[in-house]
Chains A and B, each alone.
Chain A
Amino acid sequence: MLLAIVVNRLAMALVTLAGVAVVVFVLLRVVPGDPVAMMISPGAGPAEIAALKAHYGLDAPLFTQFWIWIKGVVTGDFGTSITLHLNVTEVLAARLPATLELAIAALLVAVILGGGAAVVGTLLRRTPGEAVIDGLNSILLAVPDFIWALALVLLFAVALPVLPLTGRIDPALAQGFVTRFYLAESILTGRFAVAGNIVSHMTMPTLALALPLAAVIVRLLKQSLKEAMLQDYVLLARIKGFGELRLVLQEALRNAVGPTLALTGVQFTFLIGGTVIVERIFAYPGIGNLAIDAVINRDFPLIQGLVLLFGLIFILINIGVDLTVAALNPRLRHA
Chain B
Amino acid sequence: MFNVTRRQALAASGGLLTTLLAPQRFASAAVGNTLNIAYNVNLPSFDPQVGPSSVNPTIQAIYRSVFDQYIGQKPDLSFEPGLLTGWGWNDDKTKVWMDVRENVVWHDGTPFTPEDVIWSIQREGKPDGGNPVSFIWAGIDNFKVDGKRITADVKQYDPVIFKWMAFLTGYILPKAYFEKVGPQGFEKAPIGTGPYMVDAYEGNAYLRLKANPKYWGGKPPFETVVFKFVPDATSRVAEIESGSSDVTLEVPYEEYDRLRVKAGLHGECKPISDIAQIFITNGGVMDDKNVRLAMCHAVDKDAIIKRLLRGYGVRIDTLEAPEYAAYDPSIKVAHDPELAKKLLAASGYSKEKPVKFTIQTTRGFKPKDYEMIQAIVGMWRDVGIDANIEIYEIAKHFELRMSHKLAPAAFYNWGNAIGDPTCSTGFAMFSKSPHSAWHSDDLDAKIGPLWGEKDEKKRIQGWKDVDRYIAEQGYILPLLQYAQPILYKSELKVTPNTSGALQPATLVAKA
Q: Is the CB of A161 within 8 A of B19?
A: no
Interface centre among A45, A49, A154, A166 (most CB of B within 10 A): A166
Q: How far, in whole Å, are A55 and B206 apart by their CA atoms in the complex?
A: 29
Kindly list chain B residues whose C-beta atoms are within 8 Å of the C-beta of A37. 395, 398-399, 401-402
Interfacial residues, chain A to chain B (CB-CB below 8 A): 32-35, 37-49, 51-52, 54-56, 82-87, 91, 95, 150, 153-154, 157-158, 161-168, 171-172, 174-175, 187-188, 190, 192-193, 195-197, 199-200, 203, 279-286, 289-290, 292-293, 296-298
Q: For residue A201, which residue of chain B has the nearest CB? A: B205
Q: How far, in whole Å, are A101 and B118 apart by their CA atoms in the complex?
A: 47
Pick the residue among A55, A85, A157 that contacts B45 (CB under 8 A).
A85
Kindly list chain A residues whose C-beta atoms are within 8 Å of the C-beta of B38. 166
Pick the residue among A32, A44, A172 that contacts B399 (CB under 8 A).
A32
Stretch at the interface among B48-56, B310-318, B349-357: B48-56
Check A161/B25 contact, CB under 8 A, given A43-B136, A85-B51, A200-B20. yes
Interface centre among B42, B132, B133 (most CB of A within 10 A): B132
Kindly list chain A residues whose C-beta atoms are within 8 Å of the C-beta of B244. 157, 161, 164-166
Check A44/B135 contact, CB under 8 A, given A157-B242, A290-B203, A297-B52. yes
For this complex, 26 residue pairs linking A to B, each with C-beta atoms less than 8 Å apart, are A39-B52, A40-B435, A41-B132, A41-B136, A42-B435, A44-B133, A44-B434, A51-B128, A54-B128, A85-B47, A161-B244, A162-B23, A166-B38, A166-B228, A168-B205, A171-B202, A171-B226, A172-B208, A187-B12, A190-B11, A190-B12, A195-B16, A200-B19, A279-B204, A283-B230, A297-B44
Pick the residue among B51, B187, B208 that contacts A171 (CB under 8 A).
B208
Pick the residue among A33, A83, A91, A168 that contacts B52 (CB under 8 A).
A83
Kindly list chain A residues whose C-beta atoms are within 8 Å of the C-beta of B202. 167-168, 171, 174, 285
Check A38/B16 contact, CB under 8 A, given A49-B434, A165-B244, A285-B202. no
For the complex formed, measure the closest distance between the CB of B180 and the CB atoms of chain A, giving whole angstroms: 17
Interfacial residues, chain B to chain A (CB-CB below 8 A): 2, 4, 8, 11-12, 14-20, 22-27, 38, 42, 44-45, 47, 50-55, 127-130, 132-136, 168, 183-184, 187-188, 200, 202-206, 208, 226, 228-232, 234-235, 238-239, 241-244, 392-396, 398-402, 422-423, 426-428, 432-435
Q: How far, in whole Å, are A296 and B44 apart by their CA atoms in the complex?
A: 12
Q: Is the CB of A161 within 8 A of B433?
A: no
Kindly list chain B residues whose C-beta atoms are within 8 Å of the C-beta of A163. 24
Q: For residue B47, which residue of chain A has the nearest CB? A: A85
Q: How far, in whole Å, are A153 and B236 apart by their CA atoms in the complex?
A: 11
Q: Is the CB of B228 within 8 A of A199?
A: no
Kindly list chain B residues whose C-beta atoms are within 8 Å of the C-beta of A91. 203
Q: For residue A174, which residue of chain B has the nearest CB? A: B200
Kindly list chain A residues whose C-beta atoms are within 8 Å of the C-beta of B242. 157-158, 161, 165
Interface centre among A84, A175, A280 (most CB of B within 10 A): A84
For the complex formed, measure the closest distance between the CB of B100 and the CB atoms of chain A, giving whole angstroms: 26
Kindly list chain B residues whose C-beta atoms are within 8 Å of the C-beta of A44. 132-133, 135, 433-434
